[in-house]
Amino acid sequence: MREQELLAFIGQRLTEARFQHSRRVAETARFLARTWGLDEDKCYQAGLLHDIARDLSPEELLKQAASCGIVWDEIEGHFPVLLHGPVGAEILRRELAVTDEEILEAIRLHTTGDYPLSPTAKVIFLADYIEPGRDFSGAQKAREAARRSLDAGVAVAVGEIIAYLTGQRYAVHPKAVNLYNHYVLNGFFGAG
Ligand SMILES: [Fe+2]
Ligand SMILES: [Fe+2]
């Protein structure tokens, strides 16, 4: 896919702020891919496309999920914004003929994470959290960890996200817990 086509595709569907966020995620994803020896073009494209369904209303997300055969769980029913990953992947499959399963997985899972995750999906999950527009302290911690390894960056990101959600007494999706537990059990937080 040519970059101009992708920019036109997302430009029609996103607000200006989300369009700029998507470009920063794409640039960050390309940088992470270069640093850690992954496919730069694939990660860049997935970054541009990751929020393709993010500006749909909750009602529209539920409607499109139903028409795509996506089955949502109780948490997604309460917070349909979580469906912008799975619905976005289906939009890309149907309207842009994206067939690369790693790109589709990266988009499907970028909001929650999960375990296991492909390298491309790790890059997009992390890039979404640390792109230069993110100025909270968790993003800075994840940026520093990402210099050690991609997994170190993802581990800190998911740990910070879950700490934030529980601190606010928000629900935590089980897929995010899967990813977090994987890193805890593999010693990414020092013990385990
Ligand atoms: Fe998103
Ligand atoms: Fe995003």
pLDDT digits (tens, 9 = 90+) for 162-182: 999 999 999 999 999 999 999
The ligand placed nearest to the CA atom of residue 81 is 1
Distances (CA, A) of 192 to 137, 168, 185, 187, 188: 24, 26, 5, 5, 8
CA distance 48 to 18: 10
34, 129 contact by CB (below 8 A):
no
Q: Digits of tens for pLDDT over the chain (192 positions)? A: 789 999 999 999 999 999 999 999 999 999 999 999 999 999 999 999 999 999 999 999 999 999 999 999 999 999 999 999 999 999 999 999 999 999 999 999 999 999 999 999 999 999 999 999 999 999 999 999 999 999 999 999 999 999 999 999 999 999 999 999 999 999 999 855
DSSP 38: -
104, 89 contact by CB (below 8 A):
yes
Distance 125 CA to ligand 1 centre (A): 9
Tokens found for residue 48: 């541009």
Distance 82 CA to ligand 1 centre (A): 8
Using one digit for the tens of pLDDT, what is the confidence trace for 113-126?
A: 999 999 999 999 99
Distance 71 CA to ligand 2 centre (A): 22
Q: What is the CATH number of domain 3-135?
A: 1.10.3210.10
Distance 84 CA to ligand 2 centre (A): 10
The ligand placed nearest to the CA atom of residue 129 is 2
Q: Where are the domains of the chain?
A: 3-135
pTM beyond 0.75: the answer is: yes
Distance 181 CA to ligand 2 centre (A): 23
48, 29 contact by CB (below 8 A):
no
Q: Which residues surround ligand 2, an ion (CB under 5 A)?
A: 51, 128
Tokens found for residue 3: 């970059």
